[in-house]
Amino acid sequence: MSIAAAKQSSKTGWIAGLMLAVLFVFSLCVGVGDMPIIRLFSDGRVLELLLVSRLPRTLAAILTGAGLAIAGLIMQTLARNRYVEPATAGTAQSAELGILLVTLLLPSASLLFKSLAASAAALLGTTLFLMTAHRLPPTQPFLVPLFGLVYGGVIGAAVTFVAWQADLLQYLSVWTNGDFSGVLRGRYELLWLGALMVVIAWIVADRLTIMALGRDASIGLGLDYARMLQLGLVIVSVISALSVVVVGMIPFVGLVVPNIVSRLMGDNIRGTLPFVAASGAILVLGCDILGRLIRHPYEIPVGTVMGCVGGLIFLWLLFRRPSHV
Amino acid sequence: MPDRRLLCLAGAALLCIVAFMTIGLRGNIGFVLALRAMKLAALLQVSVSIAVSTVIFQTVTNNRILTPSIMGLDALYLFGQMLLVFLLGGLGYAALDAQLKFGGEIIVLMALATGLLLPMLRRRTDMGLMLLAGIIFGILFRSLHSLLARLIDPNDFAVVQGASFANFNDVRTDLLAFAAILTIVGIVIAWRARHVLDVMALGADTATGLGISWSRTVTGLLLLVSALVAVSTALVGPVAFFGLLVVALAERVVDTRSHAALMPAAMLTAVIILVGGQALFQHALGSSSTLGVVIEFVGGFAFLVLLVFGSRK
């Protein structure tokens, strides 16, 4: 990294950190319950509200946002296509299918076990997607996301069908639309496993950058391609499955954030990974706060807000960028 | 011979219609028949309008895997409907005459669809880009729809709630007459334009060279497509992959892209799948609600197969 680029990135880093800190504090203060900050330590109920509801919710938003953005980044590296992300490549829908089947077969399973099943299903669905996606002609880059979207739609139809038969449609909507309003202390801690996955991604970041060069080039550079592919798939699947289990599906985070960051800072994953994570967290937390404010004291689920905000950003990205990818 | 194949399709379609009307008849036969005839009329309109709009849309965009609903037109219709409720309020909306309301929704959809799609077609946007943009439009409009749904009064929400899922079982019979006029006018226009459509299928440059005012024709055809999409969405709700499935099958059967054969073939195939499927699921198997999901699943799967194998040639 040249000195100018390093300066630039440290400046961007400061801005991102500051924004995240501001949103963090703001998110702690916004909500239905009245929470005067000055009485934080004198009034026990204020502290309790903070620790039981606001803090977990804020942390959950940050963890989910960072995790989904990283999952999108890795997914884009693996598929070698800028326009895929877990929610549009069947990963999230496979995770839903996994939870649904566990709920039907073993209704008493713990949340951890459900997450495991969801992760396994997500892994299977994503592997199938990648195997097929590699057979599509590389000269038409838009075919891969298109394939992913319809693939996700077909799995989604299967999920709806099973849920319909078992009379679980209402239950299903908890996972299909991301919402942080149910997050309380004791109900989001699984998301820290996603943070662990982000750390693993950080450790192998250099190898991921090489993987982006393609299979032959990375094998030529001495990379164990198959192992890295498996690792990448596991990271993507676990992060998406956890966020589906705990908060539900949030579209566009994994798509929009890595694209913007790569436009600003290039494609060295070691250098961009912290910014991708921070921007993802900022985007999701910002949308959650927006959802809480638009119709205060009622709430709009973060998945809906993100569908509008993210959709607009993505269309802007599509039509601004020259047609080569 | 396309003619003989068309006759076979027509025979099969007729068979499906008869099956739909007669399987499992019980109780007051006259009442049941009248009820089923209403439903049949709706299903026929839906099949025909989806088939015709998809054929025209594929010709205009010069692509076999594009359909109005993949480009998010039915999501746009629902969004337009929600927008009307949002602007007029639930009471004002409910007080409006059903046909007037439907007319308003169609005009909103026509304006929005032409405004969005025409610039993309004019700029000869790359097909893949257009597809992707269309799907994102779909997600965006669905999200905007549910955003507006959260913003309006819960009572107002109940007014539009039923419309957002495909439901072949419980069709809107109050709009039937008005929609029938629209569908018939639409078919007549499409049929009269069949030769123009054949020329349009050669591509924008060739069509212009052959003396067709390209952008005016495309505008007209897009308006027609939007009206037909509005008919089918208003009657049963959004159906994502049905049109794609139908046209792909019809093309295999008649083995030509000539509109004089393809359009009737697509209509008949749509009737066979929809009416036959409904007869099978509702009257024979008794699980009426699943046809939409099954069509979605099979149609999506067909799309994937087309994509993987069609692009490798």
pLDDT tens digit sequence for A28-53? 888 776 666 666 666 777 777 778 88
> What SS3 class is residue A232?
helix
Q: Does the complex come out with an ipTM higher than 0.85? A: no
Q: Cβ of B311 and A137 within 8 Å?
A: yes
Instruction: Specify the higher pLDDT residue, A80 or B266.
Output: B266
C-beta atoms surrounding A301 within 10 Å? 23
- Inform me whether the pLDDT recorded for A143 exceeds 90: no
Under the banding of pLDDT at 50, 70 and 90, the label for residue B2 is low
Q: Cβ of B128 and A304 within 8 Å?
A: no
Under the banding of pLDDT at 50, 70 and 90, the label for residue B311 is low
- Write out the H or E segment, with its range, that includes residue A23: helix A3-29
Instruction: Report d(CA A142, CA A56) in Å as an integer.
Output: 38
Quick one: which of A26, A62, A73 has its CA closest to A265? A73
Region A113-131 average pLDDT: 90
Quick one: which of A249, A87, A156, A98 has its CA closest to B297? A156
* Mean pLDDT of the residues in chain A: 84
pLDDT of residue A278: 93
Under the banding of pLDDT at 50, 70 and 90, the label for residue B82 is confident
State percent of chain A over pLDDT 90.
Answer: 18
Quick one: which of A71, A13, A3 has its CA closest to A237? A71
State percent of chain B over pLDDT 70.
Answer: 86
Region A319-325 average pLDDT: 57
Q: Which of A176-180, A272-276, B94-98, B199-203 has the lowest mean pLDDT?
A: B94-98
For residues A232 and A211, is the Cβ–Cβ distance under 8 A? yes
For residues A302 and A179, is the Cβ–Cβ distance under 8 A? yes
**A324 reaches B (C-beta below 8 A):** no
Q: Which two tokens stand for residue A311?
A: 């959709």
Longest dimension (CA), chain A: 65
Can you say how many angstroms the Cα of residue B96 is from the centroid of all Cα atoms in its chain?
Answer: 25
pLDDT of residue A1: 47
Region B42-61 average pLDDT: 90
Instruction: Report d(CA A54, CA B180) in Å as an integer.
Output: 55
For residues B124 and A285, is the Cβ–Cβ distance under 8 A? no
pLDDT of residue B213: 86
Under the banding of pLDDT at 50, 70 and 90, the label for residue A178 is confident
Under the banding of pLDDT at 50, 70 and 90, the label for residue A323 is very low
**B137 reaches A (C-beta below 8 A):** yes
B307 neighbourhood in chain A, CB within 8 Å: 136, 143, 146-147, 150
Q: Cβ of A312 and B140 within 8 Å?
A: yes
pLDDT of residue B184: 92
For residues A159 and A97, is the Cβ–Cβ distance under 8 A? yes
Instruction: Report d(CA A277, CA A68) in Å as an integer.
Output: 8
Q: Which two tokens stand for residue A317?
A: 């990205």
C-beta atoms surrounding A77 within 10 Å? 23
Region A303-308 average pLDDT: 88
State percent of chain B over pLDDT 90.
Answer: 11
Q: Cβ of A143 and B150 within 8 Å?
A: no
Region A9-38 average pLDDT: 80
- Give CA torsion, residues A33, A34, A36, A42, to 10 deg: -70
> What SS3 class is residue A274?
helix
Region A125-151 average pLDDT: 83
Instruction: Report d(CA B160, CA B155) in Å as an integer.
Output: 10
**B95 reaches A (C-beta below 8 A):** no
For residues B50 and B275, is the Cβ–Cβ distance under 8 A? no
Region A209-223 average pLDDT: 86
